[in-house]
């Protein structure tokens, strides 16, 4: 089966079976870029299902052609705006892990309203996740890190916890770039409360 998930209709929700052909829960790489992390983690865990969501067509095409070449059965990639996908296309409670890795931090104050995580959007993330599901966040941008932690904390819908297996977590393409420039990486793991 091809990696691309092309929904016939952007105005309805999709079950895990419709996206992958089987399964009960899946993981989402929100803003998957060229898919370095998505394809690596899918190879690491062939028993889990992964959906990459990316708004740029060129990047999505790369993910799909690499996924097809690797013959991965447990990966799909969707072209969509991340928040729209979570709000309108996901069946509530169907996502086990939401990977939110090196998102655009929109550093200028006048652009903060473009940030995907806001106090008002945290309930959307929570609704998409299964009870006990995880929001895994990594960034090189300290101020955005503090922003996301504060938004999530203010909702009381998640509990921030240790990330015990962080060592085994694949690097992303942007992470490699930032680390090669000596930037520090900030990581947070939040568990969705029932």
Binding site for ligand SAM (CB under 6 A): 31-33, 36, 53-56, 59, 81-83, 101-104, 116, 172-175
Shorter beta-carbon distance to ligand SAM: residue 120 or 194: 120
Task: Select 68 or 171, whichever has its Cβ closest to ligand SAM.
Answer: 171
Active site residues: 104
Residue 142 CA to residue 139 CA, distance in Å, equals: 7
Interior angle at CA 43, CA 49 and CA 51, nearest 5: 30
The dihedrals phi and psi of 50, each to the nearest 5 degrees, come to -130, 130
Alpha-carbon distance values, 75 to 20, 30, 187 (Å): 8, 13, 24
Residue 38's H or E segment, with its range, is helix 36-44
* Nearer of residues 87 and 104 to ligand SAM, judged by Cβ: 104
Compute the distance between CA of residue 159 and CA of residue 189 in angstroms, rounded to an integer. Answer: 8
H-helix or E-strand spanning residue 189: strand 186-192
Query: Measured from the CB of residue 1, what is the shortest distance to ligand SAM in angstroms?
Result: 23
The first and second tokens of residue 124, run together, are: 């959307």
Write down the least CB distance from residue 102 to ligand SAM, Å.
3
Least distance from ligand SAM to the Cβ atom of residue 54, Å: 5
CB of 22 to ligand SAM, least distance (A): 25
Checking 21-24 for CB contacts under 8 A at 24+ apart, the result is 23/49
Instruction: Return the number of the residue (96 or 138) whose C-beta is nearest ligand SAM.
Output: 138
């Amino acid at each position: 089966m091809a990696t691309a998930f092309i929904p016939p209709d952007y105005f309805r929700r999709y079950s895990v079976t419709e996206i992958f052909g089987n399964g009960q829960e899946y993981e989402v790489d929100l803003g998957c870029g060229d898919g370095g992390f998505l394809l690596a983690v899918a190879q690491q865990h062939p028993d889990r299902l992964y959906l990459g969501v990316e708004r740029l067509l060129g990047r999505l095409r790369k993910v799909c052609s690499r996924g097809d070449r690797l013959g991965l059965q447990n990966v799909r990639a969707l072209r969509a705006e991340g928040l729209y996908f979570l709000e309108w296309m996901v069946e509530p409670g169907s996502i086990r892990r939401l990977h939110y890795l090196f998102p655009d931090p929109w550093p200028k104050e006048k652009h903060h309203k473009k940030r995907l995580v806001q106090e008002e959007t945290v309930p959307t993330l929570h609704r998409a996740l299964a009870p006990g599901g995880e929001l895994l966040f990594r960034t090189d941008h300290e101020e955005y890190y503090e922003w996301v932690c504060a938004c999530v904390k203010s909702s009381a819908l998640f509990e921030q916890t240790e990330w015990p297996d962080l060592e085994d977590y694949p690097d992303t393409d942007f992470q490699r770039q930032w680390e090669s420039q000596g930037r520090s990486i900030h990581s947070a793991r939040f568990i969705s409360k029932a």
